[in-house]
Structures are given as structure tokens and as C-alpha cells.
Chain A
Amino acid sequence: MKPIRRLLIANRGEIAVRIIRACRALGIAPLAVYSPIDAGAPHVRLADAAWPLPADAPAESYLNIARLREIARAAGADAIHPGYGFLAENPAFAAACAAAGLIFVGPPAEVLERCGDKVHAREQIAAAGVPVLPGTGAVSDEEAVAAAGRVGYPLLIKAVGGGGGKGIHVVDSSVDLPSALRLARGEAVAAFGDPRLYLERWLPRPRHVEVQILADAHGAIVHLGERECSVQRRHQKVIEESPSPALTADLRERLGAAAVAAARAVGYVNAGTVEFLLDSDAFYCIEVNARLQVEHPVTEMVTGVDLVEAQLRIAAGEPLGLRQDEIVRRGHAVECRVGAEDPHHGFLPSLGVIEAVREPAGPGMRVDSGLAPGLPVSRYFDPLLAKVVAWGATRQVALDRMAAALDEMAVSGVRTTLPFLRWAVRDPAFRAGEYDVRFAARWDEWVNGRPPDQDALLSAAIAAALWAHHRHRRTVLPRTATADGWRRTARIESLGEGS
């Protein structure tokens, strides 16, 4: 066992901030890195020290293994946490850390290798008696065309080295296969540096349910229950909750046992997630995500387990110290991902500089955020800005708190997915727990397929006119109505004038 004293965090944004918080709670010194545009980012200011990376492009910054290793040495780090994305599931990086005598906070290189080879991992998981979907191994374009008929349309093209929804394409017919293969290969190279693709049967309306597991280096494995992740856009999760409204107690138990079996089949160590597709009461394991998931907070909220702390302890060689029957889940948690995408214009990335932020708070609320005024939102990185998490004793209470929190939140400088999230958590089908992976697509129908709401139109028209009026005649507002007026009054009062 080797205690961690100085942890280098090879990531940015909200997850770097999250890991820094775990370090502070454990008395570990958090050390940050940053690309040039992230120089003023919250994770840089919250860490004990921060080192610059040469350029913004991911290959030069948060994927730059050689530079990160140099920084780790210069910083006297004894461990590296990769967060999610970037190098989190890169076996070469885990091996490079081990070779340099650094603890990699995640599974060992050989486990990453095993889980990263999705095709091989699926075979091992199937051999352990866990149901999987039909599919192929890594295929060339010609082989894909030949195998597609056997897998059956519609099918999914997925990146062998993939994760996080990148490089995934749904293909409805053989006509679309060649162009989809080309796009998927381009994305796979850009995102993972690995052009290999495979095909998998696609279920039209499944639910996406995943199970959090923790495994120590001494053979103990427990699961921390499921997360329902069926609200997705472009195969990216946007809302997650735990427990899943779709599971019966019996199904939940079988899913948990299957997740532990799958983790054991690939020799898993550290925190991981076993993903399943649920088709009424049949489930299929699709992959093991060998990292901390973006949506880990919902599990933390219902179990009370700090997953980053668990990761650090496991990485240091400590035994789990947690038996399956000691994991008690309480209440309901939901997470909404706030991203820099414009939901009214096809969810196009919205780039710019954050001008100001208003984050929600209150009973049962948690906000994991990488937002700060002045932060550039660039095309180089993922659009995720912040995660709003609500806990309640019941699902109803958690969703009510979430709806209020989303109304409270505001970001100035870029467009965000907040309007979509506000719509989703109020949608009757979502409220009833009756939704699947096609749910989010209903937003487009809702936005485009109805006459403009009279109340909204009137509010918008009045606002537009007042905005124009304010621009033309700034003096029209009485001074006391403005923030400046309040501030001046406060200043005068604090000086004791007139008392």
C-alpha cells in the first residue's frame, strides 16, 4: 500500500474541480494542468499549483502523455487522476504512469486494454453468462458491408476504441452504410486516434441502464445500484437518474448481479460502470466503461459513497471496506447536464466567452461546475459546462427540486441546453417515468411543431421592446431600479451617512 500525497489531475472543467474537492477532503495536494485558453479556469485556481500545457488542441494538451509525465515528475506527484474522456481509458498512458512509478487512478493498463477492446470484452462477458447483443469484431469497410446483412438493419457503427457516444452512428439501410462508415472513422480518429470500427445490432426503443461497480485490487467487487440514462442526444447522455423508474426489485437484483459478473469476467479493478440496454424485461450488456462516469453524482447522492475518494483509496491499494449488504440506497437523485449547445438551433455548439453565471442551490441540490466568468468555450473541448444534481426522498420531490433549480440557473455568454432540460423535467411522460432513448428527439417536434404560445410571444415582444427602449434611452429607468443604484445606496449606508 502506497498512500497518495500529491495528485496530478490530467483533466479540465467540472471533473477537475470535482477531483480537487475529493483531494481536499482527504488531505491530498491537488495539482492541475491547463491548456492556454484554460489559464483562468476554476480548476487552475482551486489547485495547489498548476502547470501550463503547450497548446489547446487535445493532442497537445490533455492528451499529451509525454508532457504530462514530465509535469508529474517536476511536480513531485505520486499519482495521476485522468478524470473521464481524454486519457482515462488509454492503456498506454496507464502503462506509462506505472513505468514512471506513478499511481494511475483507474484500472491497470491490462484491464483498460481488455475493456477498450469492446469486441473481445463482449466475448468474455458473454462467456460469464451475461447476455450481450449480436455484433461483429473490428471490421474494414468491405467486411462491414458484408457482415451488415447478418447483424441486421438498423445497426450501430461503434468505435473499437470509443466511449462517451463519440463515433457512434445509426444506419437504417445499406444505402447509408458507406457514408456513415466514413464519418464514424473520421470521428474515431479525431476522438480516440484509433480508426477501428465494429457493428452491433440496434434496438429501436431500448432504455439505457447502467450499474456502478467498485472493485479493489484484492478481489472484492460490489455494485452501487443502477443509473437510468435513457435521455440522450446524439448518443450523449443528458439526463440521468437513480434508481431507474423502469426496474422491478427482481430485475434490479439480476442486473446488479450481472454487472458484478461482467466486472469479474474482465478482471476489473477500481470504479467502473457496466452498461446495459433494457428491452422490456430483457437486458443486454453492451460494454464496461473503465472510468469514472460523468453521471457518477446521482449514485453518490443515493448511496452516500464518495466515488472519487473510493477511486483514490483503491488506487492506493486499500481494501474496499464495504460489503454489498452495507450499501444502502436512499431516496432518488437526478442529474441534468448543462452544455454549450443551442437547443433551438439543432443543438449546434455555442462558442464564446462566459460573461456571467448564476448557479442554483437549496435543499438536496448539488452543482458540479467548471464555469467562471471569462472562461472561453472553444471548439477544442467537450460542450459540458456544469451538472445540476437534485436529490429528494421521492422521485417526485427530486424532479420538483430540479425544475426549480433549472429555472434559477443562468449562463451569459453562450447558449446552453437549459431550455431543453427545463422542458424535459416537466414533460408528462418523463414525469411518469415512461421514456426510452427516443425521448429527447421529441423536443424537436415540440419546438417546431406547434403554433407560437401567445403568452410567450407577448412576453418576448415586451422584453424585446424594453430592451430596445433601454438601449435608446438608458436614462428612462429610475436610478434606484438598477443594480448600480442599489450598490450606491448600500455604499452610502455603509459609510454611515444620514444615520
Chain B
Amino acid sequence: MKYAVTGAGPDLEVEVLDPPAGPGRLRVRVHGREYDVGWSPALGSTHWWLEWDGRRQMVAIEPEGDGLGVTLAIDHLDLRVAPASPLPRKRREQGGTLQTVEVRAPMPGLLVTVEVRPGQAVGAGATVAVIEAMKMQMELRAPAAGTVREVRATGGREVSAGEVIAVLVPDGGGR
């Protein structure tokens, strides 16, 4: 079974070969080289023991959107993995030109204030809203200069991670 791994650096194809190398061991082929790999659960549903090339390490893998967050001892990579298909993959079409920019809550917390109104012009880096979690306040800033098209949240209420707080139309970014 072949898997296409994309997202960090060059795309890789990892083939998991049958039969396995032995009890608790698998055979994988990467870059035309075959490795004998140990793979077993380490902790909870997220942590695994990976052993290859004479080194054993703990790897944390968490699904993240339609990708995987892979954390090694120090490094973290955001990867996508899919069964490799012999047909060329369809590239997802971009929905035309980028016309709006969303300002999203980077973490769940209390939205303290929203500092902009629809129709307001904002400079790049202007404070759009202030969010508070774990007793820390953080400013959400406009990623680009533009005009506020929409404000979707109000101060004083809880927001979840990734929730859209405001939508901006960047200057020169559409009509």
C-alpha cells in the first residue's frame, strides 16, 4: 500500500510492504530504500513508538483539519497523507482571486472587545479585537490594510478556536 505524504519540504511516497517484517515490525519503502520499522502504541490515542535505522522515538500524531500534526521530540510537521493514486491528483481549484481576509480567533477564549465596525477602514496591523484566555489578553490585528466588510462576533462572549471574528476586504482586493 502506497501513501503520498505532502506538506513539509519535498513530497514523499511511503510504501508499506506486505508481509510485515515480523512481530510488531513492518517494512516500508521510501526513496527506493527499504526499512524494517517498529511501530506500536505508546500513550493514549496520540503517541506511538517509531523505531527505524537503529533509533527508537516517540511520535505524537493528531488529526488537524484534513491534515496530520506530527510532533517528534523537538520538531513538529504539518503533513497530509493520502493513499497514493496512480492517476494525477486533481488540484483543488482556488475560488477565483482572494477577495476577503478573515480575522479568526487563534484560540478559544473570551472575546473582550471588537474594535472595528462594518465599513470602517483599517490599516495593516490595526487592532481588530482583543481576546482573553488563561488570564492573558491578546490583540487580533488586521493582516492587511482594507475595509471591514463584516463583524461576526461581539465583545463579552466566548469564542472557539478558528471562529471568524471579522471579515476584511483588503485594499485592491476586489469590489
Contacts and interface: CB of A to CB of B under 8 A. Distances in A.
B46 A355 contact: yes
Dominant secondary structure at the B interface: strand
A412 B60 contact: yes
Contact of B70 (A422, A463, A478): A463
Interface string B73-105: 111110101110000000000000000000000
Contacts, number: 184
Contacts of A410: 42-43, 47, 58, 60
Given A419-B74, A452-B77, A467 B135 contact: no
A348 B107 contact: yes
A351 interface: yes
B135 A466 contact: no
Interface stretch (B23-31, B146-154, B164-172): B23-31
Interface string A295-322: 0000000000000000000000000000
A483 B41 contact: yes
A225 interface: no
Contact of B40 (A344, A351, A407, A481): A481
Contacts of A183: 130, 137, 139
B9 interface: yes
B14 interface: yes
Given A383-B134, A419-B74, A469-B1, A413 B52 contact: no
Contacts of A382: 134-135
B12 interface: yes
Contacts of B52: 459, 462
Nearest to A424: B74
A190 B46 contact: no
B163 interface: no
A413 B46 CA distance: 8
Nearest to B14: A465
Contacts of B12: 457-458, 461
Contacts of B28: 462, 465-466
Contacts of A419: 71-76
Contact of A459 (B72, B133, B139): B72
A187 B133 contact: no
A434 to B, nearest CB: 21
Contacts of A476: 16, 20, 26
A294 B26 CA distance: 45
B40 A186 contact: no
Contacts of B25: 481
B24 A477 contact: yes
A391 B46 CA distance: 30
A100 interface: no
A490 B70 CA distance: 32
Interface residues of A, number: 58
Interface string B42-62: 111111101010000111110
Contact of A349 (B1, B40, B46, B107): B107
Contacts of B44: 355-356, 412-413
Contacts of B68: 464, 467
B71 A461 contact: no
Interface residues of B, number: 63
Contacts of A470: 39
Contacts of B137: 183, 186-187, 190
A459 B59 contact: yes
A480 interface: yes
Nearest to B1: A469
Given A413-B44, A467-B81, A468-B3, A456 B108 contact: no
B81 A468 contact: yes
Nearest to B40: A481
Nearest to A182: B130
Nearest to A165: B136
B3 A351 contact: no
Contact of A467 (B61, B74, B107): B61
A191 interface: yes
Interface string A330-372: 0000000000000110101101000111100000000000000
B84 to A, nearest CB: 10
B73 A478 contact: no
Interface in A175-213: 179, 183, 186-187, 190-191
A494 interface: no
A463 B107 contact: no
Contact of B23 (A351, A412, A451, A478): A478
**For A379, A423, A480, which residue has the most chain B Cβ atoms within 10 angstroms?**
A379
A34 B137 CA distance: 25
Interface of A: 166, 179, 183, 186-187, 190-191, 234, 343-344, 346, 348-349, 351, 355-358, 379-383, 407, 410, 412-413, 415, 419, 422-423, 451-453, 456-470, 472-473, 476-478, 480-483
Given A466-B16, A476-B16, A481-B40, 12 more contacts: A166-B136, A355-B46, A379-B109, A379-B134, A380-B134, A456-B77, A458-B12, A463-B50, A465-B3, A466-B28, A468-B82, A480-B23
